[in-house]
Amino acid sequence: MQAARGTSVDSSKSGPADHPRTVLTSRRSWAVFAVVAVVVYVIDQLSKRAAVEQLTDRDDVRVVGDLLQLHLTRNPGAAFSLGTEFTVGLSCLAIAATMFVLVASRKVVDRVWAAGLGALLAGITGNLTDRMLREPGPFRGHVIDFLQLPNWPIFNVADIAINVGAGLILLQVFRGIRMDGTRHPEDAEDTGDTDGADA
């Protein structure tokens, strides 16, 4: 009886106490996700607008010598000018990816995952906006690219966001940290930690 009562008391202490903490952490992480997504998306759209206004019918603009130049181009394909013949398919894939990231974001607790998903969403929707609103028409619109490095395809802020977001997500995967902040069992045993959620 005493053992049972002791177990019950311990459970009540850990359960209700941990639940509000997890909910609060989840809300903060989702706020990180939302802020990163909105800020990066706005930067991408403003930079593209500026590129069209300032670089149309102009020679390349050198920002850092030959290392970084501004060169306006309209890309019908994916990031780094890949898949230029599949613009409609890429648009549909981007819509599906956007929905997937939004659904996944509801479960995020770890803040690195949140930042990665936010950057990924901003990049996907940034280029998707171009495909839906720019010429030659919805689903076939050309993406505005304007950043040029030596021996590298021309890209934009959304492309950078997609790669940074994917990099952060892969980092957490390799570290064995799930979206909910917990570690995979084998990783938790190695570190002696069973819960990697941010406080």
Q: Which of 18, 59, 145, 198 is catalytic?
A: 145
Contact 196, 185 (CB under 8 A): no
Which residue from 42, 73, 47 is spatially nearest to 60, judged by alpha carbons? 73
Contact 123, 145 (CB under 8 A): no
Specify the residue for token string 């989840």.
Answer: 26
Token couple for 25: 């952490």
Q: Which of 59, 66, 159, 187 is catalytic?
A: 159
- What is the gyration radius of the CA atoms in the chain, in angstroms? 22
Specify the residue for token string 């050309």.
Answer: 142
Cα within 13 Å of Cα(138), Cβ side = 2
**Residue 110 annotated as catalytic:** no
What is the distance, to the nearest Å, from the Cα of residue 147 to the centroid of all Cα atoms in its chain?
20
| Cα 125 from Cα 162, distance rounded (Å) | 10
**Residue 145 annotated as catalytic:** yes
Catalytic residues: 145, 159
